[in-house]
Amino acid sequence: MTPGDRILQVQNLTKRFGGLVAVNDLSFDVRVHEVMGIIGPNGSGKSTTMNLISGALKASSGAIVLKGADLMPLPPHKIARLGVARTFQLVRILPKLTVLENVIAGAAFSHKPRWGAEAERFASDLLDRLELGDKKDLGVDALTYIDQKRLELARALASEPEVLLLDEWLAGLNPSELQIGIALIADLRSEGRTIILVEHVMDAIRSLCDRCVVMNSGTKIAEGTPAEVLSDAEVIRAYLGEG
């Protein structure tokens, strides 16, 4: 695949919870080496969209196509093995495993599985890059919040994902941690990774995203570069409420 090719296509995606339509007829494409942002007010269906792509939730209708393969009917582990990795909205690390084992967990069952000494080396390198190298043999309860976030990111990266889903990865960081966090994602971007991120932090969206999809009440109301969508009248109305 070359840059600019569409790697992931979301087509007419709809998710209903009983009578509530959480995601309504949503379509967008993600291109290789692109950072795509999904933004919108609380409850607009962003995280639901992430959960649909990763398979945590089953869509009511529509299609999610990764490099020609329809992800919709697949369980989460098969989607993961096709190269989709994610972090969770509320950080989820494996509490009884060491830092290093947490990262190996991401590598061992992915589409490029690594195991044994090779996996350990690979995971160590990854931890070094995320500045967790000196903590790799510790239990995870010794980690600070941002280190836990880093570790979760390392686990996702360990699978060498085709598409990386970051669900509010920057949420809960203090201002100085936030700068570190944004710089880290910027690094990933310059490495040419394909990322979909759900985010509330506007600075991060402006500096990181190539394009954005704006959602409100489950529906896409705008799509384009961050500058374009953030000056869109409907987007401003959605954020500020009907006033």
Asked if 109 touches other proteins (CB under 8 A), the answer is: yes
For other proteins, the binding residue among 4, 19, 68, 75 (CB under 8 A) is 75
54/182 with CB nearer other proteins = 54
Instruction: State both tokens at 66.
Output: 């990764």
7/80 with CB nearer other proteins = 80
86/211 with CB nearer other proteins = 86
Cα of 133 vs its chain's centroid, Å: 23
For other proteins, the binding residue among 28, 88, 122, 169 (CB under 8 A) is 88
H-helix or E-strand spanning residue 70: strand 69-70
Q: Is 64 exposed, middle or buried (0-12, 13-18, 19+ CB in 10 A)?
A: buried
151/229 with CB nearer other proteins = 151
Asked if 149 touches other proteins (CB under 8 A), the answer is: no
Gap between the Cα atoms of 106 and 156, Å rounded: 6
Candidates 32-40, 65-73, 99-107, 198-206: pick the segment binding other proteins (CB under 8 A).
99-107
Gap between the Cα atoms of 63 and 74, Å rounded: 11
Cα distance between the two ends of the chain: 46
Could you give the dihedral angle defined by the CA atoms of residues 8, 34, 90 and 135, in that order, rounded to the nearest 10 degrees?
120
22/209 with CB nearer other proteins = 22
- C-alpha distances (whole Å) from 177 to each of 149, 150, 184, 234 are 11, 11, 10, 32
For other proteins, the binding residue among 18, 19, 68, 243 (CB under 8 A) is 18
**What's the alpha-carbon Rg for the chain, to the nearest Å?**
18
Asked if 100 touches other proteins (CB under 8 A), the answer is: no
Asked if 104 touches other proteins (CB under 8 A), the answer is: yes
36/107 with CB nearer other proteins = 107
Asked if 67 touches other proteins (CB under 8 A), the answer is: no
Residues that bind other proteins (CB under 8 A): 18, 54-58, 75-77, 80-81, 85-86, 88, 92-97, 101, 104-106, 108-111, 113, 115, 155, 159
